[in-house]
Amino acid sequence: MAACWFAPRSLSVACLLVVLAPRVALAFTCSVCNSAYNEDCMTSPEKYIKECVPPPMFNDSDHPPFCRKSSLFVYKPDIPHRVYRACAYLKDTHDEPCRSFYPPGMYLEVCQCFAEGCNAAPPSPHLVAGDVWWWAAVAFALALFR
């Protein structure tokens, strides 16, 4: 390695890149924000891209970081839609990238993804059971009056 520092400038730069490359490759990034505190978390999540630094309990190769995005829709007009984006370390055991939950009066979608900054993607459209029935009723009515 000492030979790198006494070599011509271009070779020194190449040696420096080789030394630093493994450290750069280990950094994993995700958007980290909460629309309750960061107003533009929903519209500009790329502004909140940060390196994922695992807490000590997950600082091993068994828990590599990945990205998670949670969207909460409350069925009241005065409560805004909320989005929470974060680094995560415990994977959901299901195979689907997104899961939906329906607590009383709300809809919650939790998604996990494994590429750099993937939770900065635009919000995914969501379907509520009532939406499906409404469209089915429209299709049925159109078929009847054809």
Helix (H, G, I), strand (E, B) or coil at 51: strand
Q: Which residue has the higher pLDDT, 134 or 112?
A: 112
Does residue 24 carry a pLDDT above 60? no
What's the CA gap between 77 and 133, in Å, rounded? 21
Residue 57: predicted pLDDT: 87
Plot region of 32 (φ>0 → left; ψ -120 to 50 → alpha; else → beta): beta
User: What CA–CA distances, in Å, run from 65 to 46, 86, 120?
Assistant: 18, 10, 15
* Cα–Cα separations (whole angstroms), residue 66 to 1, 81, 94, 121: 34, 24, 15, 14
Please report, rounded to a whole number, the percentage of residues in the chain having pLDDT higher than 70: 65
Q: How confident is the model at residue 134 (pLDDT cuts 50, 70, 90)?
A: very low
Q: What pLDDT score was predicted for residue 23?
A: 40
* One CATH from 2.10.60, 2.30.30, 3.30.70, 2.30.170 for 29-144: 2.10.60
* Average pLDDT value over all residues in the chain: 76
Integer Cα distance of 17 and 9 in angstroms: 12
Residue pLDDT, tens place only, 61-117:
788 999 999 999 999 989 899 999 999 999 888 888 999 999 999 999 999 999 999
Q: What does the domain layout of the chain look like in residue ranges? A: 29-144
Higher-confidence residue of 134 and 81: namely 81
